[in-house]
Amino acid sequence: MTVYQGSHQQYDVVRESNVMVPMRDGVRLATDVYFPASGGRRADGRFPVILERTPYDNSSPSAVTNAKYFARRGYVCAIQDVRGRFESEGEWYAFAKEAPDGCDTIEWLAAQPWSDGKVGTMGGSYAGSDQSAAATLNPPHLSTMIVAVGASNYYHSSMRQNGAAEQRFQIYAFRMAATSKEAAADPILKAAIEDAFENRMPQIVDNLPLKKGATPLSRLPSYEQWATDIVAHADYDDYWKQRGYAISEYYDEHADVPTLYLGGWYDSYARNTCESYVKLSKIKKTPQRLLMGPWTHGGWEATFSGDVDFGTESHVDYNSLRLAWFDHYLKGMSTEVADWPPVRIFTMGSGRVRRDDNGRMFHGGFWRDESGWPPPDVRPTSYFLRADGGLSTTPPDGPDTPSSFSYDPTDPVPTMGGGISAADSIMLPGAFDQRGRPDFHGCADTEPLSARGDVLSFQTDPLDAPVEITGPVEMRLWAASSAVDTDFTAKLVDVVPPSADYPDGLAINVTDSIIRARYRDGWDTASLMEPGRAYEFVFELYPTSNVFRQGHRIRLDVSSSNWPRFDANPNTGGPLGVHGSYGVADQTVYHDRGRASHVILPVRRA
């Protein structure tokens, strides 16, 4: 039997606050350093270092708690405010320029007399992405990373997705402005920003895209510039290929160190997390590991996502998991990490559907170990859209009357959950019944979204046996539009039959995505459509792992909007990210033998 001997709590902690670490351009970044201690003094010797770089305040309660946790177990833990945030010098411009600062900090820490020369990094979201950005410069003393819910490429599946802009980042700009050092130094500015973020955000979202000078964000020029840049730069150009945005462009230069990629099926970085693991595990020699749960953004210690609960087994003890990783790769200790498989995932949906004590739908699920991603026993299976609203593995064998709808960008389909972060006041992340609710922005009623005239639904017959899908999901949609540019969306839905707890049944979103038509041939250059001409639109949805139980249906909803998560395409073909005219687009979806629209689902073999 394997005996694990990880670190235990054996030290007190002393903190040195706001150590100003110099960067290559002379800017200094405030870093709180936590040391193992005894009797109120630093413990003798050299220790491995754990670094987290954050824009969310290095002295926040959670940062302090985590830093002390590791320092008590024999690590020096450094928590740094990124450039331009809180006590750090310089100007904040989100994400794009984090690579050199991270690299310089790692090398500074490694050179200190209390360091043993090994530096590991940790953190989630922004603090996950900035780790990967620094790793593209291959810092010599970077030894290992735990990248939680971080980016591989912000253009392809985060700030933008298949050409469309994710508007949650416009909200994020106000949230960050409210905690900026500029607002902290100016009570009048702080009051204005907080009023905008806390009270006026629904109206601001209704009037997106942002106009420069029209909101209090204009008093923080770098914040406003960033918020408008990520919307105006619609093509995948050099702006998006900066290291802090496009880690995937620099995988060959990326440090070859043991890395754990942690994410969630309802997290906004689900595609990014899986893509980083897949690409780097193929080209690096050191262990790369993937851990995917059923969580929303940062929700790994919860058991639910949105209105769906997955049971007590679905959460993880985050610090214990990280300690086992760092003990193994920074201290060379025997921990459970030595026996971890390449991939560990949570498969949702194995439980009997019922309403739990918290009013959520219990969906259940279980953990499984895999040798890779996608799992080798998964078979990509085409489910074809049919004129009668069916969804079938049998391809069409002849002509078929196309389906049609009209998309009005002034009346878009409201966002009901999904992989969302940083926008809880406007759009909630996770799994929800796809029915309008008064607490969801943009909902005009409580009717099912599938009842709208601008939503096409295609579904299987009730399943006579469970169907598990685990892996990436791809949409191949044949469609035409009366417009020269428009959007198409695809949403995979688990249709739950009526029961005593749910007399009307449920339609639970599993995964979704969108494509902007002008980018159907590539992301570098826009190409407008010929009105009325059929094109094939190929785009990727977020990966997932879900069991559609016996008696359930697999449904695919097709439309042209998912707002306010994504900006509504004005259908005119004009410049994106600016105000202009709008037009209604008449959309046609084909499902005949020569233009067989289908979704490719990763079906696990029985």
Q: What is the mean pLDDT of residues 312-336?
A: 96
* Omega before residue 564 within 30° of 0, cis: yes
Domain ranges of the chain: 13-153+246-293, 162-232, 378-604
For 390, which DSSP code?
B
pLDDT number for residue 2: 64
pLDDT confidence of residue 425: 81
**2 vs 185 pLDDT, higher one:** 185
> In this model, does residue 1 exceed pLDDT 50?
no
Q: Give the model's confidence band at 377: pLDDT under 50 very low, under 70 low, under 90 confident, else very high.
A: very high
Q: What is the average pLDDT across 356-370?
A: 96
Dump pLDDT digits (tens) for 158-210: 999 999 999 999 999 999 999 999 999 999 999 999 999 999 999 999 999 99
How confident is residue 5, by pLDDT bands cut at 50, 70 and 90? confident
Among 104, 142, 90, 111, CA closest to 23: 104
Q: Give the tens place of pLDDT for each residue, 89-113.
A: 999 999 999 999 999 999 999 999 9
**Residue 108 phi, psi dihedral angles, 5° rounding:** -65, -45
CB-based contacts of 388: which residues, under 8 Å, 6+ apart? none
Name the percent of the chain lying above pLDDT 70.
99
Q: Name the CATH topology of 13-153+246-293.
A: Rossmann fold (3.40.50)
Cis peptide before 209 (omega within 30 of 0): yes
pLDDT, average across residues 360-388: 97
pLDDT reading at 521 higher than 90: yes
Virtual CA dihedral for 467, 469, 474, 475, nearest 10 degrees?
30
Q: How far is CA 91 from CA 99, 172, 225, 259, 603, in A?
A: 15, 17, 12, 30, 48
Q: What is the pLDDT of residues 36-90, one digit of tens each?
A: 999 999 999 999 999 999 999 999 999 999 999 999 999 999 999 999 999 999 9
pTM of the model: 0.97
Fold designation for 378-604: Jelly Rolls (2.60.120)
Sign of torsion, CA 6 11 17 18?
negative
Q: Compute the Cα dihedral for 237, 243, 246, 252 and give only its sign.
A: positive
pLDDT(541) > 50? yes
Helices of type H across 403-462? none
